Amino acid sequence: MRPVCPALFLAAAALAQNSPYPVDVPAARIVKALDEPQNWLTYFGDYKGVRHRALNQVNTVNVRNLRVDWIFQIPTTGRFETVPLVVDGVMFFTAQNGHAFSVDARSGRQLWHYQYKPAEGTADGLNRGLAILNDKLYMGTVDGHLVCLDSRNGQLLWNTEVASAKAGYSITLAPLAVKDRIIVGVGGGEFGIRGFIDAYDAKSGQRAWRLYTIPEKGEPGGDSWQADSWKRGGAPTWMTGTYDPDLDTVYWGVGNPGPDLYGGDRLGDNLYSCSVVAIDPNTGKMKWHYQFSPHDTHDWDANETPMLLDLPWKGQMRKLLVQANRNAFFYVLDRTTGEFLMAKSYARQTWLKEFDAKGRPTPLPNTEPSEQGTRLCPGLAGGANWMAPSYNPDLQLFYVPYREQCDIYFSSPPKFVEGKAYWGTATRGVSDEKEWGVVKALDPLTGEGKWEFKFYHAGWGGTMSTTGGLVFAGDADGYLVALDAKSGQLLWRLQTGAEIATAPITYMVNGKQYVTIASGAALITLSLP
């Protein structure tokens, strides 16, 4: 859609003060982000989504001395799920309800603050972060817009409507900058939207392409939807994707079909819901897809991190895509072709009978949601979800945070009303056991578990690993923990005072390593004395 000229914001921007610390992040720097362990240049820290840093000032010996260095309090309520960016000593981050900030990464001193005002009648909402390209920042909004900010002062440069909030669309993810474009996905699967992935020109905000994640009738895959159910079939794209510059391919997870919990009006596989899609970033054309859960009725979307690893598979180096899926299985695909290579459960599951040679699952009988209720594992929230995994290349271990929770799934046919919730009833937790959370270390070539660390409650916190031999993770009870990357032994923990629902980052300024995590309404940064 056409960018909106922000006249009022331009007037206000004339008074803005430029940051004394200008930054510049051309696309070539993002391609080599892992060569800058002192910075955190994308939502995942790099294009592959490994969330690992070659920093070891904080390590297994001294992590017990880690203490709070500074705290930044945000002026809003709600769940704080941001993952900050750090560029040459400057930190950029978002907060719920349209806030964006820049602070000095050494002290937390605010450099500028921006607040987006969503369309009237739009509910408040969370935000997971920013993208940066050159000297500009990009942020999605709860009412379905993509905005561009000047990284020096927070001035609004352009504002483009991606999709209508009245139709149920929103953007909560951190955008992905690829070459000269900004790629975004949308939320709203619970409201009967038709999902898509968009790319926008980074300078002008003009849309370059759109890839719908539900094909129309007559398009490849269009016959996988019953009648006109594709028009409101969900398949949202609400989490950030990854990118392989060598293959020039973007990988993006796609959400579940709608309505949730009831599939009687949308018989078929419902492509490309619950899939990962490989996309040409120049044209938006799909190269291949793999569907994890055909015709899903359990809300087991595939928006979890599509991590990219280059590893020897059965004696031959291959470009792999690995994902701990919400359906409780860890998958390995060839990311050049989309070939299914392996799947193994990492959490309790009671739904699968077997996979065929191409990775198509055969469910066990009596696992569909029902009027009487069907007990099944994992629960609606899945095993994995948006909680970020990480990967230590030295140990060749994949760290996945997940939830151990089973649910009773109920089902009945819903009525579709545009912009309103579109669910086939609901779930409730099983009453004869308590849920819990886990961080598990996996061998990504076999799916075999090497160790696991349990949290008291099932939570939403992600992980981050370092060459200091550490895995950092957060939990629902507010603990930020540091685990031994080899053994999973608890080495240190801090009670932050509120739920942690995002993943930590680490960076270095002037020779000092920092660790940052969002918790409650505070951004907390730690370092050694």
Catalytic residues: 299
Strand order, beta sheet including 181-185: 176-178, 181-185, 196-201, 207-212
378, 325 Cβ separation under 8 angstroms: no
Residue 306 CA to residue 288 CA, distance in Å, equals: 14
Residue 27 CA to residue 133 CA, distance in Å, equals: 6
Residue 346 CA to residue 375 CA, distance in Å, equals: 19
- Residue 426 is given by DSSP the state -
Residue 60 CA to residue 468 CA, distance in Å, equals: 6
166 — alpha (psi -120 to 50), left (phi > 0) or beta?
alpha
CA atoms within 13 A on the CB side of 304: 31
Torsion angle, alpha carbons of 257, 263, 266, 270, to 10: 40
H or E element, residue 377: none
CB contact set of 14 (below 8 Å; sequence gap of 6+): none
Query: Burial code of 249-258, b = ≥16 C-beta within 10 A, e = fewer?
Result: bbbbbbbbbb
